[in-house]
């Protein structure tokens, strides 16, 4: 944290567009108005000294949701949850972009920081949308209530590599302190997500290159999830990847096939190698790619 429309499995391509960060600089007033009407407005996002403000990772996550908006609308989620809502920018943007297209959707948000819970509520209210916001460590207050019922989960986890003693700190430090390799909190979140997601559930998660996203995807693959990168963005300080996970019956039915598992691992290594080449050979900030 700097302090695809309808992509079919097996295909890959890249586009260059930074949606949320470039809204203010867009020269086409119609495009600018259309994009702005689908996301939370920064001027209406509440704040607090101990709450993480929207930044590159927040914008990248919202860009990923916008890129997949058509699929999300077709999906017609009954329940959407953000784990670690911070300012409320992401959950508010999700509620706005689905809006009247998904009238039956219920929204939830959690954060371990009580100040963030308050700020999220204010941001939602200032945009005229609603979510049930709970002060909770990951989703401890909702696990039994929502187990197997959530169709969409969005997470911008604490992913910055830090000393382990900073993990779970009070206040704003908890928003980014990820422990060794930035994986301590991520590794706690993954089994909770697996418990909460419905049989048709989707997860959108922000990762950093240092988090070893290949390994994260392999962990989720063992749980029966396919995955793909929706947005890849590099800044001066970090390389972000927004990964979408979804339950895949084919993976579950072939989980014991070691040959296929090895082939999948080799495919991941090839994809990550290609991404490194793209990052070094292109000045583009934003990528959309897919892992099959």
User: Which pLDDT value is given to residue 250?
Assistant: 85
Is residue 81 a contact partner of residue 110, using CB atoms and an 8 Å limit? yes
Contact 89, 58 (CB under 8 A): yes
The helix/strand/coil state of 55 is coil
Confidence of residue 249 (pLDDT cuts 50, 70, 90): confident
Rounded to the nearest integer, the mean pLDDT of the chain is: 82
Q: Is 122 helix (H, G, I), strand (E, B) or coil?
A: helix
Alpha helices in 161-255 (DSSP H): 184-196, 213-222, 249-253
DSSP-based three-state secondary structure for 34: helix
Q: Tell me the percentage of the chain whose pLDDT exceeds 90.
A: 67
Categorize the per-residue pLDDT at 1 as very low, low, confident or very high, splitting at 50, 70 and 90: low
pLDDT tens digits, residue range 80-98? Answer: 999 999 999 999 999 999 9
Please give the Cα distance from 231 to 206 (Å, whole number).
9
DSSP letter at 167? T
pTM over 0.85: no
How many whole angstroms separate alpha carbon 25 and alpha carbon 222?
43
pLDDT in tens, 11-35: 222 333 344 444 444 444 444 445 5
User: Residue 156: how many CB atoms within 10 A of its CB?
Assistant: 29
pLDDT band at residue 271 using 50, 70 and 90 as cut-offs? low
pLDDT for position 160 = 94
Residue 79: how many other CB atoms lie within 10 Å: 20
Contact 206, 178 (CB under 8 A): no
């Amino acid at each position: 944290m700097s302090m695809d429309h309808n992509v079919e499995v097996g295909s890959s391509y890249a586009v260059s567009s930074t949606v949320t960060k470039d809204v203010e600089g867009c020269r086409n007033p119609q495009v600018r108005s259309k994009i702005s009407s689908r996301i939370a407005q920064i001027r209406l996002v509440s704040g607090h000294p101990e709450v993480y403000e929207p930044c590159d990772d927040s914008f990248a996550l919202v860009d990923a949701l916008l890129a997949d908006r058509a699929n999300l609308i077709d999906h017609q989620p009954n329940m959407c949850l953000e784990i670690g809502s911070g300012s409320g920018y992401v959950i508010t943007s999700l509620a706005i972009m689905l809006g009247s297209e998904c009238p039956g959707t219920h929204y939830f948000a959690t954060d371990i920081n009580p100040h963030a819970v308050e700020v999220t509520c204010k941001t939602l209210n200032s945009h005229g949308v609603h979510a049930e916001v709970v002060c909770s460590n990951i989703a401890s207050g909702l696990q039994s209530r929502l187990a197997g019922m959530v169709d969409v989960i969005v997470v911008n986890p604490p992913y910055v590599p830090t000393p382990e003693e900073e993990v779970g700190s009070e206040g704003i430090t908890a928003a980014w302190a990820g422990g060794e390799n930035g994986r301590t909190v991520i590794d706690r979140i993954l089994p909770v997500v697996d418990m909460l997601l419905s049989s048709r559930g989707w997860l959108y998660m922000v990762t950093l290159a240092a988090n070893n996203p290949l390994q994260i995807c392999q962990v989720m693959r063992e749980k029966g999830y396919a995955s793909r990168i929706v947005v890849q963005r590099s800044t001066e300080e970090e390389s972000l990847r927004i990964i979408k996970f979804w339950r895949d019956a084919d993976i579950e039915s072939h989980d014991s096939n070691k040959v296929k598992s090895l082939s999948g691992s080799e495919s991941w290594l090839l994809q990550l190698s290609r991404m490194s080449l793209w990052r070094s050979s292109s000045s583009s900030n934003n990528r959309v790619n897919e892992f099959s």
